[in-house]
């Protein structure tokens, strides 16, 4: 930092005076249209500055050459309709005006910068390599003049700026400004060199990736982007899965990247505490503040004490000291004696009361405050609540409650304005205790009797008042100030500010807290001064009002914030004749804000000609806990002005003070805030950890020791100790002295000459990867990016959220209603560039919300903690969002390197040596189980039906129910046989079919379908069941074409649909085979029924869409059908007297077998419930089970989900209907995926109350090669569950962990292995068997395995590989196995199986084809989906605000899976395709997204 000597400074001053007229000459002629919009509300101009704007422009210009490789997010247009109300009201603290100075500045700058910075690299390029050059600065006003914010900066800028300034651009029209700014704005988006974009292949050409940025019509935007994505998605083939890899320790995520060895470190000696000058002993200082009031109120009753202004800024009432005294006495007397009865007063001395007064009523507040002091009750001033749920209101309520407040004092006007309920009572504010409201207007107060006097004792440590403060997390704490501290602070202020009796002070601050309270309510009473209070509301309508008051009253002191300086400058042209020569102190109370320096400079340069003295500007630093920390004393005319510190931003981020040498843009210029308070002592301690004293060149938290600070946080002893009783320690950790210090919450250092410098606040500290950034600095950078068209100034919130072991920066801003998508996106990408360039830190998320929607603080600022809360809950509702996880998440674990493979033989040997068994399991042996003669006699299902039709003709096999639960149709053995015969006859007559022809069965779920199936068997045809087209989509999911069908059997209704115009439009009907409807069949039978020559002949084709979205048909032979039915019969103990209920789709897999085959084989009765009917009557399935007292029922996940969601709150209704599920022995979910345990558990828990046994619910497992591998059945142990470690699973390993372990995943066994089925777990690459509890592909061998794929193109290799494959090692029998394509493991349990041996459990983890291989690890989509669906209740339901989900989804996937999400697509409910089992068709979905067929609500591309 450079403490400037007088010579350089005055030289700089002169130089500037010479330069000023040139650029500002044209200003006078510019019309004032820029100023008319000012009334749009307060401008938060704390952050404006020329230098900062320039730094940002420079940083952005560096990126001019290479633009960002960014697809813009796409939105569905129709859903975002702006309501007119929002569009018209600009937010409160912002303004539409931009002054032409900033436009002119940018035009000039862009010219300069284009010349000097043409050869810069792309920013993405640098941010990825991590070598970004830096640049930054400071921010308040730009007016056309060139103001040197500091000597050295001014020198650097002087030459560059002026040369190009010869002809200032014309600002009277807006076109020039837009053209000048467009010269900086990247016009279209291009890619950095191809090595940089992650995920792009060397081969793909660069230009094809990003051809679109503007000029593309809206509707085609999605498709071009998808094209770009496609290019990045062409994935290489999956690398082989290795069995063993050498990683000694489970690799743990590195918390924070290792510190940079080259980072700057403090080098100075340890600082020594700095003392202020002694507090002068003045004989007439009163023993207590109340005594001062008594003295002036009785001896100087006519002297003015406080003047209040009306809305227009005219004085309306002046309170004299006499009035203040008499009214405070009346109030004190009333509070103590008139509120309760004599024996039971409501208030006793020491009780706490709330003071609720609006900001434009200082008089009532002052009387109330001093009245409370006289009554010795403790006032707690709070803001006036506006609605029942104000931002932060609940926390205020918590403070009131913890202070035990039951009374609130207020004025009559204020009371009338509070929100009321219908019957006129004041509403109960959220979180507030019950309050009694007391109106303190004079007419309601009682005059005290002559002999009553208040008790005024000398000031001691008893509490005087409580000031509230909001912490970074949003909690509200009450800082208790003792009477002694209040008095001493007044004395210190009076001495430091040199106050004298009768001076006039103009106060623009909030008089309820902080400096406004200390100077305007205490110090003025102590010194008999006259305060003129200018409320915030007046400042909004007349920003110059405070300057006019100073002029009119010849005020000696003014109390302002930078904002007020800025407003005065904006409006100063309206008033030429004001004079500020009377001011000896202009106290800038947010002088501690690093950006205040440029406000002060700008204000001085503008108002020096109005008599403002340079030495009158006195910045000060304050905090609720330490009160006034430091203040610059009023200077002596002609004395040298204090120095400036020009610090390196990079140094600051490491907490050290370094003079900025590198880049003029990355400097932070700060001004001092004067010296320590009289009688005080100050030290700087490390902000985190024990309070160790800092070195002299180190930034730390400022601590103050004195009698003039707060004494505690009310009711919070622990936090109080850490804040109000800090004993600093030296580097060895031993205490330095025994004086307790108070932490001020300000970060800074003590410079040369004991001047105090503040560089930020603890509350605004963002710790990212071990570096500290200041939220205010980042806000300033954001604002310096030309934002006029996009966001409201000063409505920007910056905070950090903790994601994946580090803090991440989030920027939220309010967007103007008229900003276009392109403008917003443009602005957002430039803000990212600027912050990256200047602060060298990545922004994790940048969100724009609609105007006026961020939660406000009482004075109109942004309520940061509430905003953060909304962001994390997903209820911020942004209208634009940009996530950049790729640039800021640098602490991901290293990608896993696959180790060279270990051969299958050595694995086998390794397992044997380790004493591990090979992972295999088998069901009971079919051969040994005796059965009745039925099986021996009949090899074919058709024969069994004929045999049943003779043996038990009237035994009902099937009952079909409708939505009302009534039986629509039944079929006995004979009826089914007869019906099948007729259908077979029709096939021969009408269809002219030969044996072995394929016939498509197109039926709704029901008995017709079953009859047609057996009809085909009778005729020797091969049935293919196809789900009928939905009335809305008349395209049967087309196995039709694939199955080479010779004929279609269907119903009349469906036939009409197939022949309809819609169908003709979708499919060429001419190419279709014969369509026969089976509704009215002739009574005709075949001469003889077909009997297949061998059991290996094809019985039927099973077509299904697998989870990977492939439509595959498998061939089922007669012997396989027989074996399948037999296995199910044995497992479920099915025989003729049993009934089972089936609520499944009957078109493929096990669902088809249960619906059509099993009853005929085993003779049990099947009650058929079409799942579609459940949508009309949710109770149908459960009430059927109850009505028929069914012991075994089968359903699909979609049915279970429907019941769980739909009947969740109807359990009582079920009870009243008398539904009881205690009869259920097994409730089996038919699935081809990992069991959905959460759904099963919630189903069990939900219906436990109506008798469902939690043991009853289980699941099956099948795949395309074998439709039924596992099924729970009736005997055998209950399904077991295990917890496995997700991290190991990604490494293709199974590690069992305890319940509740972090990153654990609950897996459940998929039922029991069916009789006759053998399973082995195999490494899919080496095809060698793996050991027990190792992950591998599940291979299966069983008599009911399908005999192959049915394809038009006979790909024999695939066939052999999937259906007839052998282990590469360790299987002497050379068994033929079929590969299921699912990963899983077998684990031997302690339970006993039906055979008496220990039971081997099979756990399915997921389909191999669906796994994602990322960063060398294997991920199962379901795990990521589970994480995502937990994030927000509106996922998978109806969505209002899709953009809220983008950050939540990104966070959770990063936290739980260490992956960075690239694209987040939000679609309508029901868009994700599912198959008949309720399984998601992820590949289909991906293809539809890439083909742009989704019509997404929003697509966010995370950069």
Q: How far apart are CA 599 and CA 565, in angstroms?
A: 7
Is residue 490 within 8 Å of 522, Cβ to Cβ?
yes
Could you write out the DSSP letters of every residue in 606-663? HHGGGT--GGGEEEEEEETTTEEEEEPPPPPTTSPPP-EEEEEHHHHHTTB--B--S-
Cα(376)–Cα(363) distance, rounded to whole angstroms? 20
- From CA 766, how far away is CA 761, in angstroms rounded? 10
Question: What tokens appear for 1042 in the block?
Answer: 């694939």
Residue 1107 near residue 1250 (C-beta atoms within 8 A): no
Return the higher-pLDDT residue of 255 and 982. Answer: 982
Each residue's pLDDT tens digit, 679-700: 999 999 999 889 999 999 999 9
Radius of gyration of the chain (CA): 41
Mean local confidence (pLDDT), 777-782? 87
Structure tokens at 909: 């040997």
Handedness of CA 105, 106, 111, 115 (dihedral sign): positive
Element housing 497 (H / E): helix 483-497
Residues 1392, 599: Cα–Cα separation, whole Å: 82
Distance, in Å, from the CA atom of 376 to the CA atom of 393, rounded to the nearest integer, reads 27
Q: CA triplet 1083, 1085, 1087: central angle to 5 degrees? A: 155
The pLDDT score that the predictor gives to residue 350 is: 92
Q: What is the pLDDT of residues 836-890, one digit of tens each?
A: 888 989 999 999 999 889 998 877 788 899 999 999 988 888 988 999 898 888 8
Residue 1420 structure tokens: 């199962």
pLDDT at residue 708, rounded to an integer: 85
CA 992 – CA 1015 distance, rounded (Å): 14
Dist. CA 1311–CA 1226, nearest whole Å: 11
**Per-residue pLDDT averaged across 491-511, rounded?**
94
Check pLDDT > 80 for residue 407: yes
- DSSP states of 153-186 as a string? HHHHHHHHHHHTTSSPPP-SSHHHHHHHHHTTS-
pLDDT in tens, 535-590: 988 888 888 899 999 999 999 999 999 888 988 888 877 667 889 999 999 999 98
Please tell me which residue, 214 or 792, carries the higher pLDDT value. 792
Q: How far apart are CA 66 and CA 63, in angstroms?
A: 6
**Mean model confidence pLDDT for the chain:** 80
Identify the band that residue 81 occupies on the pLDDT scale cut at 50, 70 and 90: very low
Q: Which residue, 562, 614, 609, is CA-closest to 584? A: 614
CA 1461 to CA 716: how far, in whole Å? 42
Tokens of 883: 């996530």
- Residue 861 neighbours by CB distance under 10 Å: 18
Our measurement of the distance from residue 917's CA atom to the centroid of its chain's CA atoms, rounded to an integer in Å, reads 47
pLDDT at 1258 over 50: yes
pLDDT digits 0-9 by tens, 25-71 = 333 333 333 343 333 444 444 455 566 777 777 777 776 655 555 67
The pLDDT value given to residue 1473: 83
Q: Which two tokens stand for residue 611?
A: 């008599």
Instruction: Please say whether the beta carbons of 1178 and 1207 come within 8 A.
Output: yes
Record the pTM.
Answer: 0.78
Distance CA 554, CA 972 (A): 109
How would you classify residue 1289: left for phi > 0, otherwise alpha for psi between -120 and 50, otherwise beta?
alpha
294/1046: higher pLDDT:
294
359 pLDDT higher than 80: yes
Residue 1233, CA distances (Å) to 428, 1108, 1152, 1153, 1475 in order: 52, 11, 17, 18, 12
d(CA 944, CA 323) in angstroms, rounded, equals 110
Site of tokens 């001896």: 299
| Strands of the sheet with 463-470, listed across from one edge | 463-470, 476-482, 712-713
Helix (H) or strand (E) holding 397: helix 393-402
Q: Give alpha helix (H) positions in 218-320.
A: 221-233, 289-299
**Per-residue model confidence (pLDDT) at position 1284:** 93
d(CA 202, CA 1118): 53
- Residue range 62-82: average pLDDT? 60
Structure token digits, residue 38: 């000012």
Q: Which helix (H) or strand (E) holds 718?
A: helix 717-724
Q: For 505-523, what is each residue's pLDDT tens digit?
A: 999 999 999 999 999 999 9
Structure tokens at 1075: 């369509």
Residue-level length of the chain: 1503
Strand partners, 1112: 1104
**291, exposed or middle or buried, with CB in 10 Å at 0-12, 13-18, 19+?**
middle
Name the helix (H) or strand (E) containing 1168: strand 1165-1168
Query: What tens digit of pLDDT does each residue of 1105-1152 get?
Result: 766 667 788 999 999 999 999 999 989 988 888 999 999 999 988 999
**Under 8 Å between Cβ of 541 and 92:** no
Pairing state between β 1398-1407 and 1378-1392: antiparallel
Strand stretches in 1374-1438, DSSP E: 1378-1392, 1398-1407, 1412-1414, 1417-1419
- The whole-angstrom separation of Cα 6 and Cα 614 is 13
Work out whether strand 843-850 and strand 880-883 pair parallel, antiparallel, or are unpaired: antiparallel
SS (HEC) of 1179-1201: CHHHHHHHHCCCCEEEECHHHHH
CB 572 within 8 A of CB 544: yes
Structure tokens at 254: 């590195």
Contact 74, 1499 (CB under 8 A): yes
Question: Using CB atoms within 10 A of its CB, is residue 931 exposed (0-12), middle (13-18) or buried (19+)?
Answer: exposed
Q: Return the number of other C-beta atoms located less than 10 Å from residue 1264's C-beta.
A: 24
What is the number of other CB atoms lying within 10 angstroms of the CB of residue 972?
Answer: 18
- Taking the C-alpha atoms of residue 845 and residue 1366, their distance in angstroms, rounded to an integer, is 52
**Max avg pLDDT among 184-198, 203-217, 1096-1110:** 1096-1110
233: closest CA among 1291, 1407, 1414? 1414
As given in the structure block, the two tokens for residue 962 are 């409708």
The highest-confidence range among 370-379, 760-769, 1029-1038, by mean pLDDT, is: 370-379
């Amino acid at each position: 930092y450079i403490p400037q000597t007088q010579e350089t400074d005055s030289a700089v001053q002169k130089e500037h005076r010479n330069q000023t007229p040139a650029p500002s000459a044209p200003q006078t002629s510019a019309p004032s249209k820029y100023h008319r919009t000012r009334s749009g509300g307060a401008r938060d101009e704390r952050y404006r500055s020329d230098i900062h704007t320039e730094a940002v422009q420079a940083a952005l210009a560096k990126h001019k050459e290479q633009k960002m490789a960014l697809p813009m997010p796409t939105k569905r247009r129709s859903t975002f309709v702006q309501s007119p109300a929002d569009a018209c009201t600009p937010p409160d603290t912002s303004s539409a005006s931009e002054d032409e100075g900033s436009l002119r500045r940018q035009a000039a700058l862009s010219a300069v910068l284009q010349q000097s910075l043409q050869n810069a690299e792309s920013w993405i390029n640098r941010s990825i390599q991590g070598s970004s050059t830096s640049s930054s600065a400071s921010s308040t006003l730009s007016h056309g003049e060139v103001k040197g914010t500091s000597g050295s900066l001014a020198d650097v800028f002087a030459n560059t700026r002026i040369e190009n300034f010869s002809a200032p651009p014309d600002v009277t029209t807006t076109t020039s400004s837009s053209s000048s700014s467009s010269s900086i704005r990247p016009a279209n988006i291009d890619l950095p060199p191809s090595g940089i974009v992650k995920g792009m292949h060397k081969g793909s050409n660069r230009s094809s990736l990003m051809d679109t940025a503007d000029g593309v019509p809206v509707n085609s935007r999605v498709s071009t982007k998808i094209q770009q994505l496609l290019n990045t998605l062409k994935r290489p083939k999956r690398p082989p899965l290795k069995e063993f890899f050498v990683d000694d320790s489970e690799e743990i995520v590195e918390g924070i990247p290792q510190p940079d060895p080259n980072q700057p470190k403090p080098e100075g000696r340890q600082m020594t505490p700095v003392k202020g000058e002694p507090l002068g002993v003045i004989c007439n200082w009163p023993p207590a503040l109340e005594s001062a009031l008594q003295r002036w109120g009785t001896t100087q009753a006519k002297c003015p004490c406080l003047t209040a202004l009306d809305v227009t800024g005219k004085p309306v009432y002046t309170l004299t000291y006499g009035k203040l005294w008499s009214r405070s006495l009346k109030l004190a007397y009333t509070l103590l004696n008139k509120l309760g009865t004599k024996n039971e007063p409501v208030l006793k001395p020491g009780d706490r009361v709330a003071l609720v007064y609006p900001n434009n009523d200082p008089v009532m507040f002052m009387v109330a405050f001093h009245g409370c002091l006289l009554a010795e009750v403790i006032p707690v001033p709070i803001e006036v609540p506006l609605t029942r749920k104000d931002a932060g209101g609940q926390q205020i309520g918590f403070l009131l409650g913890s202070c035990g407040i039951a009374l609130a004092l207020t004025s009559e006007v204020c009371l009338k304005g509070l929100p009321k309920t219908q019957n006129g009572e004041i509403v109960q504010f959220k979180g507030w205790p019950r309050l009694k409201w007391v109106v303190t207007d004079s007419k309601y107060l009682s005059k005290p009797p002559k002999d009553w006097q208040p008790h005024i004792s000398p000031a001691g440590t008893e509490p005087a008042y409580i000031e509230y403060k909001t912490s970074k997390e949003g909690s509200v704490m009450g800082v208790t100030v003792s009477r002694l501290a209040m008095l001493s602070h007044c004395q210190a202020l009076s001495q430091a500010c040199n106050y004298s009796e009768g001076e006039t002070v103009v106060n623009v601050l909030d008089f309820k807290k902080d400096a406004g309270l200390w100077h305007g309510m205490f110090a003025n009473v102590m010194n008999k001064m006259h305060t003129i209070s200018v409320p915030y509301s007046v400042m909004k309508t007349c920003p110059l009002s405070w300057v006019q008051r100073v002029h009119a009253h010849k005020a000696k002191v003014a109390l302002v914030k930078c904002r007020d300086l800025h407003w005065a400058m904006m409006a100063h042209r309206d008033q030429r004749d004001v004079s500020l020569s009377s001011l000896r102190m202009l106290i800038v109370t947010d002088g501690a804000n690093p950006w205040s320096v440029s406000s002060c400079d700008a204000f001085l340069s503008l108002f020096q000609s109005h008599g403002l003295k340079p030495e009158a500007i006195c910045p000060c630093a304050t905090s609720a806990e330490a009160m006034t920390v430091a203040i610059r004393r009023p200077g002596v005319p002609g004395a040298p002005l204090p120095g400036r510190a020009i610090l390196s931003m990079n140094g600051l981020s490491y907490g050290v003070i370094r003079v900025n040498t590198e880049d003029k843009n990355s400097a932070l210029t700060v001004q001092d805030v004067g010296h320590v308070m009289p009688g005080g002592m100050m030290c700087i301690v490390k902000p985190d950890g024990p309070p160790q004293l800092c070195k002299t060149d180190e930034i730390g938290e400022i601590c103050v020791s004195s009698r003039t600070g707060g004494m505690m946080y009310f009711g919070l002893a622990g936090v109080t100790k850490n804040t109000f009783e800090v004993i600093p320690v030296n580097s060895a950790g031993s205490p330095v002295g025994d004086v307790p210090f108070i932490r001020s919450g300000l970060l800074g250092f003590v410079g040369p000459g004991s001047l105090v410098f503040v560089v930020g606040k603890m509350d605004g500290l963002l710790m990212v990867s071990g570096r500290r950034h200041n939220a205010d600095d980042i806000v300033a950078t954001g604002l310096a990016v030309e934002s006029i068209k996009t966001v409201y100034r000063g409505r920007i919130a910056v905070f950090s959220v903790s994601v994946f072991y580090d803090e991440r920066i989030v920027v939220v801003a309010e967007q103007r209603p008229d900003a276009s998508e392109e403008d917003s996106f443009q602005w957002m990408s430039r803000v990212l560039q600027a912050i990256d360039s200047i602060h060298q830190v990545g922004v994790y998320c940048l969100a724009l919300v609609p105007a006026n929607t961020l939660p406000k603080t009482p004075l109109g600022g942004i309520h940061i903690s509430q905003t953060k809360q909304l962001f994390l809950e997903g209820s911020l509702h942004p209208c634009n969002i940009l996530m950049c996880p790729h640039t800021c998440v640098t602490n991901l674990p290293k990608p896993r390197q696959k180790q060279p493979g270990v051969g299958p033989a050595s694995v086998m040997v390794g397992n044997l040596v380790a004493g591990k068994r090979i992972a295999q399991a088998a069901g009971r042996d079919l051969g040994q189980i005796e059965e009745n003669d039925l099986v021996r006699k009949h090899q074919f299902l058709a024969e069994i039906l004929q045999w049943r039709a003779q043996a038990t003709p009237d035994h009902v096999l099937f009952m079909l129910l409708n939505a009302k639960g009534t039986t629509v149709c039944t079929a006995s053995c004979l009826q089914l046989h007869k019906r099948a015969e007729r259908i077979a006859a029709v096939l021969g007559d009408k269809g002219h079919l030969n044996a072995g022809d394929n016939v498509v069965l197109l039926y709704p779920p029901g008995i017709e379908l079953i009859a047609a199936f057996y009809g085909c068997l009778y005729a020797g045809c091969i049935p293919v069941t196809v789900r009928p087209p939905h009335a809305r989509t008349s395209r049967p999911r087309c196995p039709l074409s694939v199955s080479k069908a010779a004929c279609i059997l269907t119903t009349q209704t469906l036939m009409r649909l197939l022949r309809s115009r819609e169908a003709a439009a979708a499919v060429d009907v001419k190419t279709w085979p014969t369509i026969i409807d089976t509704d009215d069949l002739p009574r005709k039978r075949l001469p003889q029924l077909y009997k297949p020559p061998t059991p290996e002949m094809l019985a039927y084709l099973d077509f299904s869409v697998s989870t990977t979205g492939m439509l595959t048909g498998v061939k089922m032979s007669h012997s396989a059908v027989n074996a399948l039915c037999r296995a199910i019969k044995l497992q479920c103990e099915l025989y003729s007297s049993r009934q089972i209920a089936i609520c499944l789709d009957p078109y493929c897999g096990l669902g088809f077998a249960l619906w059509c085959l099993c009853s005929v084989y085993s003779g049990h009765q099947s009650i058929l419930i079409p799942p579609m009917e459940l949508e009309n009557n949710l109770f149908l399935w459960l009430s059927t089970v109850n009505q028929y007292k069914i012991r075994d029922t089968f359903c699909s996940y979609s049915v279970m989900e429907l019941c769980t969601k739909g009947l969740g709150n109807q359990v009582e209704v079920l009870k009243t209907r008398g539904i009881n599920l205690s009869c259920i022995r097994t409730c089996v979910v038919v699935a081809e995926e990992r069991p959905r345990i959460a759904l099963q558990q919630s189903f069990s828990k939900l219906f436990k109350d109506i008798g469902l046994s939690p043991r009853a619910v289980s699941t099956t497992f099948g795949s395309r090669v074998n439709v039924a591998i596992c099924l729970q059945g009736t005997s055998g142990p209950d399904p077991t569950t295990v917890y496995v470690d997700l991290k190991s699973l990604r490494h293709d390993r199974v590690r069992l962990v305890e319940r509740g372990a972090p990153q654990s995943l609950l897996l459940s066994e998929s039922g029991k292995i069916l009789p006759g089925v053998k399973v082995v777990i195999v490494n899919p690459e080496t095809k060698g068997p793996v050991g027990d509890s190792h992950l591998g592909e599940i291979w299966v061998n069983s008599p009911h395995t399908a005999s192959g794929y049915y394809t038009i193109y006979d790909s024999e290799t695939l066939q052999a590989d999937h259906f007839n494959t052998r282990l590469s090692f360790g299987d002497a029998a050379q068994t033929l196995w079929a590969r299921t394509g699912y990963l899983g493991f077998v684990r031997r349990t302690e339970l006993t199986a039906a055979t008496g041996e220990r039971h081997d459990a099979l756990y399915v983890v997921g389909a191999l084809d669906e796994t994602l291989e990322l960063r060398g690890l294997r991920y199962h989509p379901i795990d990521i989906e589970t994480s995502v669906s937990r994030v927000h209740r509106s996922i998978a339901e109806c969505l209002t605000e899709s953009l809220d989900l983008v950050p939540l989804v990104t966070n959770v996937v990063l936290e739980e899976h260490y992956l960075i999400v690239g694209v987040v697509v939000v679609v309508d409910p029901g868009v994700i395709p599912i198959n008949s089992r309720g399984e998601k068709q992820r590949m289909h979905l991906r293809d539809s997204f890439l083909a742009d067929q989704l019509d997404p609500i929003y697509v966010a591309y995370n950069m």
